[in-house]
Amino acid sequence: MKLSQLVSEYIAFKHALGVRFQTEARILKAFSRAMGDVESIEVEPSAVHAFLAGKGVVTGFWYEKFGVLARFYRFLMIRNYVDSIPLLKTMPKRPEPMKPYIYTLEELRRLLAATDRLQSPWSPLRAHTFHTLILTLYSTGLRIGEALSLTLADVNLLESLIMVRSGKFFKTRLVPIGPQLTETLRSYVQRRRKLPCPQGEDSAFFATRSGNALTYDQARKVFPILRKLAGIYREKEARYQPRVHDIRHTMAVHRLVAWYREGADVQRLLPLLSTYLGHLDIAGTQRYLSFIPELRDEACRRFEHYALREVEDED
């Protein structure tokens, strides 16, 4: 049987089980295209290795692709479509986990200012769209995919609420927003409604000039342009440059620093932040809280205050 047919069958099987399977489906379709119009038994290990290797060094995505292919080929083996798995027996060394980039407030201001350079007569709302998108990501901590999936109906400006439907882990949640972001979104939506709304109130909130949703690929291509215009870079030897998703990490870290400076009970508030971000548990949030100097200093000050109080109580 053709490899492309088996890929389609496997994706349909996963969808029938209720699995979202979006990223995995993209990987498998890309794999099928890379292998060409071949029978499943004709796939050579060298071709699979070339697909996994891509054009650069081994990254976390290499392991993600490997895992998807390994599960796909186990599916084929169980159903006797193939009698061997054309994957590497020896795994390359897993790279160090990518460390999120935590933007400073000044860098965020420069990013926002850089959106003015996106102004174009062919896409009159483009600059305003990215300006509003960045503010929304920082103010709410939404995942980029969640923000781009918002519809006009999901943004309730009267009650200052955003409905995030079927986010990660298939959870739907309400995200309260402050008065400043509410006004920012109100200003944006007035101009957005002048664009086409193909699905009425279910049309995309962040849209292109056609009224269709701004896609992740479009956002991913534009963001490095904004980052370069804003002059934001990691050190030269870094494997990754700052990403749009790092704005979410930044929001979480900045919120924690603010709580420390306010003298708030951080341990009590951390579960609230976890719920706000749409995490299953606190462990998911803790991965976002990179140990930046400001956070370290505030934590040290809190500990010193606690330690001195304990010493005084003993005296």
* Residue positions annotated with a catalytic role: 143, 168, 245, 248, 279, 288
Buried b (16+ CB within 10 A) or exposed e, 241-269: ebbbbbbbbbbbbbbbbebbeeeeebeee
DSSP state of 194: T
**Cβ–Cβ under 8 Å, residues 135 and 194:** no
Q: Is the dihedral of CA 4, 6, 10, 12 positive or negative?
A: positive
Taken as a whole, the chain contains a residue count of 315
Angle between helices 266-277 and 246-262 (to 10 degrees): 160
| 32 Cβ contact list (under 8 Å, min separation 6) | 3, 4, 7
What's the 3-state SS for 260-297? HHHCCCHHHHHHHHHHHHCCCCHHHHHCCCCCCHHHHH
What is the C-alpha separation between 164 and 153, in angstroms, rounded?
Answer: 11
What is the C-alpha separation between 233 and 148, in angstroms, rounded?
Answer: 25
What is the C-alpha separation between 69 and 278, in angstroms, rounded?
Answer: 29
